[in-house]
Chains A and B, each alone.
Chain A
């Protein structure tokens, strides 16, 4: 298991990415004003972003197609048609949690009480910073997969395609996420709010490259 603290300056910030995320274009009536606010909000609040991620790479010990279940090496069972299909070709699974920390949540809640517009824009900034962090995690894990002679599949996470949201607890427990400040509420949403988890399959290249399994992988990716 590895934990990485990231300097926020290492995460690329793009105001254009924030506008896209907020579904704004240069034709939006609010664009001229928002265009000046977004970079200023980023400068004002980036000190509250504490990007950090933790990951672990586990062997897949067993697959049970009848129950759509994947078993990791320590007996943890991941169950659901989506997660089964996504990991069907894999021999290893990379599990991760990435977060921007609790400080930005507090800022967002406080700002929401006094300035809804700024809070909305800061939400957009935080969301795009979280995506930037996710991109970094993905790049690092993809590189790790290659050094192991594997191809990495796409991210999958509880809440998608019949992988039940409560199973988020399995991933967080596996990563001992509370040690980096990530907890799960009774309603199964993560604290801090700007947190993302997921699992990637690592499949040996020769398996992925065979025609039949290649088609299966393509199907998995489409799904």
Chain B
């Protein structure tokens, strides 16, 4: 099996230690770090995303694959940092204030990382003030907000309103997601795109 296909397979099947060892072996063979990333690790995770979307994989398979991906990324990280490789975009993710559920948000973060995005995770119960502070610090292009409960959904609109007040909204795409988000409720933030995703998710 060609080397990159073998690495794909290790990611897809969630083999953490072998994925790290294979990544190191490819570097030892003289492959550039960015090539190992783009030809080996990320395509493997893309296949995992497709399998998840089609229902062939469930959450545990995705998490195992993410663990293998992270093991490979850890090997590459020092080299990538030294080579000044830019991420596709920066995404600031957080579960909104009042809500402390984070599995969905973490899965989104995993898939974004697996597709070359840099993810800044604000964690759970993230207040508008904290998200604004992180936005100013990291200058993301995308803001992702998560909520599990209908009762915490209004915090999404409050957060977006706070970004508007601070003049930060126009420079961001906003993604909202979570079980209770079937419609974009806040009229002041009409959706501009709606991707097909396993769970309802809207880009505003």
- Residues of chain A whose beta carbon lies under 8 Å from any beta carbon of chain B: 22-24, 28-30, 33-34, 109, 112-113, 116-117, 119-121, 123, 165-166, 185-189, 193
B98 touches A187 (CB 8 A): yes
B100 touches A188 (CB 8 A): no
Residue of B60, B101, B124, B149 near A120 (CB, 8 A) is B60
List 8 A-B pairs, Cβ < 8 Å.
A22-B60, A30-B58, A117-B63, A120-B103, A187-B151, A187-B152, A189-B152, A193-B101
Interface size on B, residues (CB 8 A): 26
A165 touches B151 (CB 8 A): yes
Which of B60, B151, B155 has the most chain A CB atoms closer than 10 A to its own CB?
A: B60
What would 8 more interface pairs be, CB under 8 Å, given A166-B151, A185-B98? A28-B61, A30-B61, A30-B64, A33-B64, A112-B102, A116-B103, A117-B66, A120-B63
Question: When each residue 125-169 of chain B gets 1 if its CB lies under 8 Å from chain A and 0 otherwise, what string results?
Answer: 000000000000000000000000111100100000000000000
Roughly how many angstroms separate A113 CA and B67 CA in the complex, as a whole number?
Answer: 13
Query: What's the minimum C-beta distance from A197 to chain B, rounded to whole angstroms?
Result: 15
Query: What's the minimum C-beta distance from A202 to chain B, rounded to whole angstroms?
Result: 30
Which of A29, A109, A121, A185 has the most chain B CB atoms closer than 10 A to its own CB?
A: A29
Closest-by-CB residue of B relative to A117 is B63
- Residues of chain B whose beta carbon lies under 8 Å from any beta carbon of chain A: 13-14, 57-61, 63-64, 66-67, 98-103, 106, 110, 123-124, 149-152, 155
B63 touches A109 (CB 8 A): no
Which of A30, A34, A187 has the most chain B CB atoms closer than 10 A to its own CB?
A: A187
